[in-house]
Amino acid sequence: MRASASKLRFQKTNLIAIILLFILILAGGIVRSTGSGMGCPDWPKCFGQYIPPTNASELPKDYKQKYVADRSDKNQKFANTLDVFGFSDLAKRIREDKSILVPEEFNAAKTWTEYINRLLGEITGMFLLFAAIFSFSYRKESKLIPFLCILNVILVGFQAWLGSIVVSTNLVAWIVTVHMILALAILAISISAYHLAKVYGKHNLNISPITHVVTLFALIISILQIVFGTEVREKIDAVASHLQGGYREDWISNAGAIFVQHRDIAILVLLINVVLFALIRSGFGRHSMQQQLMSFAFLMIMLQIVTGILLSYWSLPPAAQAAHIILASLVFGAQFYLMLNLYQSAKIGEVRR
């Protein structure tokens, strides 16, 4: 049964939003790898302007003192919130962090890198909002689709606020990790809504239980790998700060056990996906959606291994850092969509062949 024009409009809008989410994750990786997170010291504007400056002469008067004061005030409020929820130790560290009081020097390249990242975030948020509005075309068939889309809009608003905290707290490690996990959650919800809209009203196929289990395990391991990778980056940031940005070739060796754990999980990711690839290949046709998704995920994993080697042996080149993050996100997205194709209920799902 062909979908109506309003339903097709939702599917297209939501698909664009998913693509933009991947681009936004890439942009965030570029921001992180180039150290541009503080390129705009304020939020949502950048140096008090909607279009950031390109030259130091365009900066507001006494901008360093002004934005340090604003950040300090915001951090005090955030620390008070953390106290309410029982995170007193983190709140204390934020209050006592003297680096927050050090003004950032203006760097046009870093400012525009961060500004473009924010602009992409705003565009992505708009498409997610439009998707939520258009999702009501499914309200009679499935209330879950509008619910997921509305939930995503709420999460995007929280993510934007959290982004402002990331800036004001000078990229506090714990908050950066939560920021990345929340980005994956928003991506997963968007993919879920898209999948539900595509398969609604079709029939289910019987899938081997072992395939279900291995797919879920592969997805969980990929998520853990991303979390460990974020923590590795946080540790390396601490090492880089201690070494004042010098001795770049020693950053990884000083990262400690967390880097070894990240590498070991990478081996586990490869092994479990080899098993999953074999299961999918034996259970589905060559041109099936499942084989295409699995082949894509496996290719991304191999490329991720290559970028991991580049990071390890070539002193963390920024391009490889950004590529490593987006490849991990693409693996997650492909595995999650594969899982949805395998785990669909009797009411909503025909695995396409």
Tens digit of each residue's pLDDT, the chain (353 residues): 556 888 999 999 999 999 999 999 999 889 888 878 778 877 778 888 888 888 888 887 777 787 778 778 878 888 888 888 887 887 887 787 777 777 777 889 999 999 999 999 999 999 999 999 999 999 888 889 999 999 999 999 998 888 777 767 765 666 778 888 999 999 999 999 999 998 765 545 556 788 889 999 999 999 999 988 887 777 776 666 666 556 566 666 666 677 778 888 899 999 999 999 999 998 888 888 889 999 999 999 999 999 988 888 787 788 888 999 999 999 999 999 999 988 763 333 333 33
The model carries a pTM of 0.86
What is the per-residue pLDDT for 352? 38
Number of H helices, E strands in the chain: 10, 0
Angle between helices 318-342 and 5-33 (to 10 degrees): 150
Q: Is 94 exposed, middle or buried (0-12, 13-18, 19+ CB in 10 A)?
A: buried
What is the per-residue pLDDT for 348? 37
Give the residues across from 49 on adjacent strands: 46
Least Cα distance to 200 among 137, 292, 285 occurs for: 137
Tokens 């029982």 sit on residue: 86
Q: Are 46 and 40 in contact (CB under 8 A)?
A: yes
- The residue extents of the domains of the chain are 1-200, 203-353
Longest dimension (CA), the chain: 67
Fold that domain 203-353 belongs to in CATH: Four Helix Bundle (Hemerythrin (Met), subunit A) (1.20.120)
Give the residues across from 46 on adjacent strands: 49
Tell me how far apart the alpha carbons of residues 322 and 18 are, in angstroms, rounded to a whole number: 18
Helix (H, G, I), strand (E, B), or coil: what is residue 102?
Answer: coil
What is the per-residue pLDDT for 344? 61
Token pair in block for residue 238: 């601490």
Query: How many residues can be counted in the chain?
Result: 353
